[in-house]
Amino acid sequence: MNKRPKVFLRYYSVNNLGDDLLASIVVSRYSNNFYSDIQIFGKYIRQLRNLYAVNTFRSNLIKKIEIKVLRKPLNWAKRLSRNTDLMVYVGGSIFMENVSLKAWLKEKKFYQNIQIPFYILGANFGPYEHKEFITIVDDILGYAKDICFRDHSSYKLFEKNKKVREACDVAFALDTTRFKVTNNKMAIISVIDCSNRLDKKSSKLYYELMSKICIKLMEDQYAVKLMSFCEYEGDEIAIQRILSLIPEKYSKKISTYYYKGDLEEALNLIACSEIIIGTRFHATVLGLVFRKKVLPIIYSDKTKDILDDMKFQGHSIDIRKLDTFNIDELDLKDLRIFNVDKQVKLKLYQFQELDKVLALRKNSDE
């Protein structure tokens, strides 16, 4: 392998704030050149000086078709892997059984035939329905050079594989010292489109909950900002649904922020807030990283598992159980800052094996 290996970077590249954050942390840590097949370009991703996009009109067309079916492009990933020395796949919900097992067998074949070593960072496993899916993923992990999960629940499923490790989420490696962290009397509310995640009743209850939280915050004299992390996944649609449920005397005072790829701008916004109401997984994590008061809104076990691992003692709301939740019992004044010093100390463990083969930048936090 060359002294400076060329790296095939694989991530969910659709202008999703969380995934852009993870990709930027990896790319900024090393001085190697990274090559990626990017679905949607954002401002910050374009500015990463050692990240190169390998895109053509034809590849983009094929990629769109593949993403609709499998949520990740395969054919062009194969081609890209032939021109690089190793692959790094960074992401969170990488192993979800959200498509047919036949599609996942195709994914398994990709990993089986790839001719370069590959590393998986920051992943969690699930949700899933069939035990066969566990076997497929177990086989995929068997081909990897190193796998680091971000939660103990995922790790336990595959701990017999000696290449499997666990650590905190990659986002805990974010260098917050470059941001001006303040506590303006502002609450940021990250939302999701529930149409593909929950049934109609639960979706309705979720949007009603978020509208009531907005009103509660405004009555406590907070500036409220509804924040979209990903247009592609419908966050902006969710914001409009929530606003439609709020009386005009409140809604006209609520501001919005739609993430369009300017990662620094988005992180600065979070850094200057006091409260983060996080439905998006990385909204919750970023709130914790920036030492904010956080109210996690749980729609998936991936958030619950991380909070359990951290022994999080604050309030949280599981939107899968809203039929038994009484918002009148929620006092937002009780929110407290949760200490994440332990997670920050362990932040470099995700990169433990990758650091052995890639060149650290001089300003990296070793």
Beta-sheet strands, E only, within the chain: 7-10, 34-36, 51-53, 86-90, 118-123, 146-149, 164-166, 186-190, 223-228, 255-258, 275-278, 293-298, 317-318
Instruction: Indicate if the pLDDT at residue 2 is higher than 50.
Output: no
Report the predicted TM-score, pTM, of the whole model to 2 decimal places: 0.91
How confident is the model at residue 40, as a pLDDT? 77
pLDDT 10s digits, 243-269 = 999 999 999 999 999 999 999 999 999
150-154, 199-203, 225-229, 263-267: least confidently modelled range:
199-203
Pick the CATH number of 7-167+346-356 from 3.40.50, 3.40.1130, 3.30.420, 1.10.10: 3.40.50
Q: What is the DSSP string of 62-87?
A: HHHHHHHHHSS--HHHHHHHHTSSEE
Quick check: 158 and 245 in contact, CB under 8 A? Answer: no
Same fold, 7-167+346-356 and 176-341: yes
Share of the chain above pLDDT 90, in %: 73
Where along the chain do its domains lie?
Answer: 7-167+346-356, 176-341
Query: CATH number of 176-341: 3.40.50, 3.30.160, 1.25.40, 2.60.40?
Result: 3.40.50
Please confirm whether the linkage preceding 296 is cis (ω < 30° from 0).
no
Reported as a single tens digit per residue, the pLDDT across 86-139 is: 999 999 999 999 878 999 999 999 899 888 999 999 999 999 999 999 999 999
Question: What is the structure's pLDDT at 59?
Answer: 54
What's the rounded Cα separation, in Å, for the pair 169 and 130? Answer: 26
> Quick check: helix, strand or coil at residue 269?
helix
* Residue in the block written with tokens 């290996």: 5
